[in-house]
Amino acid sequence: MSNKEDVALLAHLMRRAGFGATKEELARYTEMGYEATVDELIDPPEDRQSGKTAMLLRYLPGCLLPGGTPTPGQYNWMYHMITTQRPLEEKVALFWHHVFATGNAKVDNCDQMLEQLTMFRKYGMGNYREMLVQLSKNPAMIFWLDNNENHRDAVNENWGRELLELFSMGVSNYTEVDVREASRAFTGWTIMPKLPRQPFGRFPWRYEYLGEDHDDGEKTFLGYTGNFNGEDIIDIIVKEPATARFICRHLYNFFVADEVQVPAWTIEPARDEEALDMMVTAFEESGYEMKAVLRLMLNSDFFKNARFAKIKSPAEVVASTLKLVGAYKTPEPTLPSIGSEPGYMGQALLDPPSVEGWYTGSEWINSGSLLARINFVADRVANTSFPGVRSIIGDMKAAGVTSPEELLEASLEHMGFLEIGDETRQQLLDHAKAEGNMDWSNEEASGTRVGEMLALVGATTEYQFG
């Protein structure tokens, strides 16, 4: 039994530090052990690929188009989530997309959004200061928050404000004057070439620093005075205690358990102050290294004990379901339509509703999104033409699953070692009992029955948690 518990814990780890895991992957991780798995997630060997990009390009060359419907960037990313061999790197990229929310609604150039995503993959698990410097120079971000319109003689506060409010310290830790001064320090940080979209269309941007458009005058920011440039501002921000707390609370909310929504953070204490303190200490003592805080968090008891303490985000629902049923291991022609699915559940990838990103936890759920989640999962796990579903059916048959109880237990295991309440268990069991024992002699009917049980497990309230 202890082996089953080990696998269940690794399934939890992979839901959080990745997008779920296939049976084969779980077997490999179980063989390696928990801590060694965390080590590999944090420092993946070079030969483990972040997604079969070359194959995606060969099958669907449109995946790198800057425009198009459905949005090429969305299915490109979804394909990486499903096929990556560097799952934590991909999950951390999604984490930064939540925090540094940039939207294609304005950027209107998927290629540029994917470039930002590549930057998140490359720097996301590195040093947070370096991450902010890269972010400040990221063309999609510069355009999104108008820093290309932030001039020595006409200051645009958009980037300066959000850098403080949403990307580092959180509200109420700075003044309007600080916003102004930070914005001045980032004048001249712009993108080239500055061709208007009309009539030239979309074109690749690159970061450029224009010294003659930079306000080199004296600035007073958070009590420090000097002729600050952008990197000086970042140096000050990173060392503010509010920053480490804000970033670690985001990490806790994203990886461990659902917190109250971000605007309440200045008022409501953290869900687990002790855990947050441990994370903040690891972050600060390492000099703001993401790997240090991720390693502490994933190996902690508070993480291991937080099984099913989060409502799954739509991206997690879609990617983990597709991994489970073994869909899109190669870029099948219908892949583009999959990119839109998280959007129907309230999380349009690469296109958050605003720079504040998404509300999380139970805010993912409303009658529309709940229907979309349940229907998406049910439609796939009940489809016996998917290789992953056929493999589950084969496993159950080989294991000699016979009684309604055994059918339910096996279904829960295959759906991520899901833990359900007594009442739900009884209702599912009553439903299964009405059909009696499994009859494996009828191949089609028994397959359909397994698929239907998986769909009903996917339709429970419990399955909304991950």
**How far is residue 424's CA from residue 426's CA, in Å, rounded to a whole number?**
5
Which residues between 310 and 349 bind other proteins (CB under 8 A)? 311, 343-346, 348
**Closer residue to other proteins (CB): 22 or 375:** 375
- Using the 8-state DSSP alphabet, how is residue 240 labeled? S
Which residues between 180 and 199 bind other proteins (CB under 8 A)? 198
153 in Cβ contact with 133 (< 8 Å): no
Minimum distance of other proteins from residue 2's CB (angstroms): 29
20 in Cβ contact with 43 (< 8 Å): no
User: Residue written as tokens 């150039």?
Assistant: 109
**How far is residue 320's CA from residue 310's CA, in Å, rounded to a whole number?**
15
326 in Cβ contact with 22 (< 8 Å): yes
**Closer residue to other proteins (CB): 378 or 412:** 378
- x/- site string to other proteins, residues 377 to 416, per CB under 8 A? -xx--x----------------------------------
396 in Cβ contact with 410 (< 8 Å): yes
Exposure of 3 in the CB half-sphere (CA atoms within 13 A): 5
- Kindly tell me which residue out of 50, 112, 369, 446 binds other proteins, with binding defined by CB under 8 A: 369
Look up residue 18 and give its two tokens: 């990745």
Determine the angle formed by the axes of helices 387-398 and 404-414, rounding to 10 degrees. 140
- Kindly tell me which residue out of 9, 155, 242, 296 binds other proteins, with binding defined by CB under 8 A: 155
Determine the angle formed by the axes of helices 176-185 and 158-165, rounding to 10 degrees. 120
151 binds other proteins (CB under 8 A): yes
| Stretch in the footprint of other proteins (CB under 8 A) among 122-130, 276-284, 318-326, 351-359 | 351-359
**How far is residue 143's CA from residue 152's CA, in Å, rounded to a whole number?**
17
Query: Which helix (H) or strand (E) covers residue 57, if one does?
Result: helix 53-59
- Kindly tell me which residue out of 110, 262, 407, 418 binds other proteins, with binding defined by CB under 8 A: 262
149 binds other proteins (CB under 8 A): yes
- Kindly tell me which residue out of 80, 98, 137, 161 binds other proteins, with binding defined by CB under 8 A: 161
Look up residue 226 and give its two tokens: 């000097």
| Stretch in the footprint of other proteins (CB under 8 A) among 51-59, 199-207, 209-217, 366-374 | 366-374
Minimum distance of other proteins from residue 35's CB (angstroms): 31
Which residues between 268 and 287 bind other proteins (CB under 8 A)? 268
Q: Coil, strand or helix: which one is 219?
A: strand
**How far is residue 436's CA from residue 404's CA, in Å, rounded to a whole number?**
7
Q: Coil, strand or helix: which one is 222?
A: coil
| Stretch in the footprint of other proteins (CB under 8 A) among 59-67, 203-211, 281-289, 418-426 | 418-426
| Stretch in the footprint of other proteins (CB under 8 A) among 44-52, 62-70, 130-138, 153-161 | 153-161
431 binds other proteins (CB under 8 A): yes
Residues that bind other proteins (CB under 8 A): 105-106, 145-146, 148-149, 151, 154-158, 161, 165-166, 171, 176, 198, 258, 262-264, 267-268, 311, 343-346, 348, 353-356, 361-362, 365-371, 374-375, 378-379, 382, 421, 423-424, 427-428, 431, 434, 452, 455-456, 459-461, 464
